[in-house]
Amino acid sequence: MQIQSEQLGPLEIPEESVVTFPFGIPGFPALRKYCLLEVKQGSRFKLLQSVELPALAFVVTDPVSLDPDYPMDDVRRIYGELGLDPAQPLAIAAIVTVPGPPTRPTANLLAPLVMGLTSRVGVQVVLHDSPYQVRHEM
């Protein structure tokens, strides 16, 4: 399908690359379908683009690049506890807030996005009782 991304212009999105968030993403409960896109080759940032609302996109990054000890096992366990298949390959992404200069970007390490690469089902999980915050200084 073709969408007109506000950030990246016109895009052709293959159906099989769409990830469905059955609960939506907090703040955006009505929107369920997203697609993870490369912004620039070699960049550590990607764009999670809403398929349903072309004006909506999130900058995301790999949380392990920000904290090598990021608890991927806990993330996988929580994904499984939601009734989703934790045995498949997962893409795990932290949403980055880019307020613009002079304020530095922050990453939400408390509530990462977890996307099953086989099931194409995603959810924003919460690392309860962890030291992480929604605004981790990058």
Query: Exposure string (b/e) for 4-39, b if CB count within 10 Å is 16 or more?
Result: ebeeeeebebeeeebbbbeebbeebeeebbbbbbee
- What is d(CA 68, CA 72) in angstroms, rounded to the nearest whole number? 10
Omega cis (within 30) before 102:
yes
Q: 3-state class of 59 per DSSP?
A: strand
Q: Where are the alpha helices (DSSP H) in the chain?
A: 63-66, 72-81
Residues from 42 through 101 that contact other proteins (CB under 8 A): 43-45, 47, 56-59, 81-84, 95-101
Quick one: which of 51, 75, 114, 123 contacts other proteins (CB under 8 A)? 123
Any contact of residue 4 with other proteins (CB under 8 A)? no
Q: How far apart are CA 75 and CA 73, in angstroms?
A: 5
Q: Please list every residue from 92 through 121 that binds other proteins, using CB under 8 A.
A: 95-101, 105, 108, 110-111
Of 29, 38, 64, 77, the residue at the interface with other proteins (CB under 8 A) is 29
Smallest distance from the beta carbon of 82 to other proteins, in angstroms? Answer: 6
Measured from the CB atom, the residue of 1 and 98 that comes closer to other proteins is: 98
* Residue among 16 and 99 whose Cβ is closer to other proteins: 99
Residue 31 Cβ vs other proteins, minimum distance, rounded to whole Å = 10
Residue 68 CB, nearest approach to other proteins (Å): 20
Interface with other proteins, residue 1, by CB under 8 A: no
Please give the radius of gyration of the chain, using alpha carbons only, rounded to the nearest integer.
15
